[in-house]
Amino acid sequence: MGNRTVTLMTAQWSDLPFGELCELAARMGYDGLEIACWGNGIDIDKAYEDDAYVAYIKETLAKNNLVCRAIATHIIGQCVGDEIDPRHNNFAPAELADKPLKIREWAVRTMKKAPAVARKLGVDVITSFTGSPIWKYIYSFPQTTQKMIEDGFDEIVKLWSPILDEFRKYGVRYALEVHPGEIAFDYYSTRKLLEKFADYPEFGVNFDPSHLIWQGIKPHLFLADFAQRVYHVHMKDAAVTLDGRSGLLGSHIDFGDLRRGWNFRSLGHGDVNFEEIIRVLNAIGYDGPLSVEWEDSGMDRIDGATEAAAFVRKIDFKPSTFKFDDAIAN
């Protein structure tokens, strides 16, 4: 068994009061949390201004023998790079509903505060989304020119560079979860984005295999090729169940519905080959956390997340310290 920290991504648990969640996470077998900055997670504005609030977060973690190795700002970051529409009202403060420019301004302002908050918490990685002004062009019909795509990538660089300047100031790394709906959603879009951000080594990847496997990408190859920019790792599974009627684009059917061509699954119940991922993590010397993002619409979440923590501990084997045939060498 390995010695990497096993954490729980709290996004899917943000309905629980923070103290209650910490107690539950410890009981389920986790070493720490990747704390979402919404719901009952961390309030970035409050943490930025109020050191007593930060002390409460730290004390509550310590009381439950938990650590925090990353904070998550996904829904805030989404509002930076997207074309804002009514769906984003759920991500932003209620008073900003249906005010696209105000929502983006709020998102940029909040993301600039995030690395200062991370530093207060002793955290050096923030996981997030960038949003995408060109996700609507995914199928390239009506016809989409390469200039339209290039302009979209350049807009993301323009929007995020001032934010990344704050990350650099505080020595905090930004880890984009490569994910449909983001400017980088698969292998080649990730390569293109990292090239665009070549002057910002602070900008990297939150590796999550569940978003790659159903697209036909082998997650361990993605991990190996982008190893130098992988700053955080999610442990999350998905199963492809194409049956001749279902498709990969989901048919506008909700997650969990068995008619879909793929669904997220609890760890070990899907198609991701986690052994290959651990072997690559060992080869590249990744010593960061393995953060369970638990999403399985067909399973009880406490049972599933408890099983998932044990699964990660079992699969996270240590690398060898010597060649197997050294024992018989002369």
Mean pLDDT on 268-289: 98
Q: What percent of the chain has pLDDT over 70?
A: 97
Cβ pair 76, 107 in contact under 8 A: yes
Listed by start position, the domains of the chain span 6-236
β-sheet bridge partners, residue 230: 205
Confidence of residue 1 (pLDDT cuts 50, 70, 90): low
In angstroms, the CA 122 to CA 116 distance is 10
CATH topology of domain 6-236: TIM Barrel (3.20.20)
Q: Report the greatest alpha carbon distance in the chain.
A: 75
Residue keyed to tokens 């704050």: 166
pLDDT tens across 146-162, in order?
A: 999 999 999 999 999 99
CA angle 296/298/303 to nearest 5° reads 70
| Residue 324: per-residue pLDDT | 60
Residue 120 pLDDT > 70:
yes
176: enclosing H helix or E strand: strand 173-177
pTM of the full structure: 0.96
